[in-house]
Amino acid sequence: MKITTWNINSVRLRIDLVTRFLKEQAPDVLCLQEIKCLEDSFPFKAFQAAGYEHLAVSGQAGYHGVAIASRLPLKKIEKREFCGKGDCRHVAASLPGGIRVHNFYVPAGGDEPDPKKNDKFAHKLDFLDEMRDWFSELGPRSKSILVGDLNVAPAENDVWSHKQLLKVVSHTPIEVEKLDAVIASHKWTDVARAVIPAEEKLYSWWSYRSRDWKSSNRGRRLDHIWVSPALKKAALADDRDAYVIHDDARGWERPSDHAPVSLTLDL
Q: What is the pLDDT of residue 179?
A: 98
Domain encompassing residue 235: 2-264
The answer to whether 155 touches 113, Cβ cutoff 8 Å, is no
Instruction: List the one residue out of 155, 188, 251, 191 whose CA is nearest residue 2.
Output: 191
**Burial annotation 94-106 (CB, 10 A radius, 16+ → b, else e):** bbeeebbbbbbbb
Mean pLDDT of all residues in 134-155: 92
Q: Model-level pTM greater than 0.85?
A: yes
**How many domains would you assign to the chain?**
1
Mean pLDDT of all residues in 205-233: 94
Instruction: List the one residue out of 29, 11, 189, 194 whose CA is nearest residue 101.
Output: 29
> Looking at residue 63, which CATH number applies to its domain?
3.60.10.10
Mean pLDDT of all residues in 247-257: 97
**What does the alpha-carbon distance between residue 8 and residue 12 come to, in Å, rounded to a whole number?**
9
Mean pLDDT of all residues in 180-187: 96
Q: What is the pLDDT of residue 13?
A: 98
Q: What is the pLDDT of residue 211?
A: 79
Residue 75 has pLDDT above 80, yes or no: yes
Residue 193 has pLDDT above 90, yes or no: yes
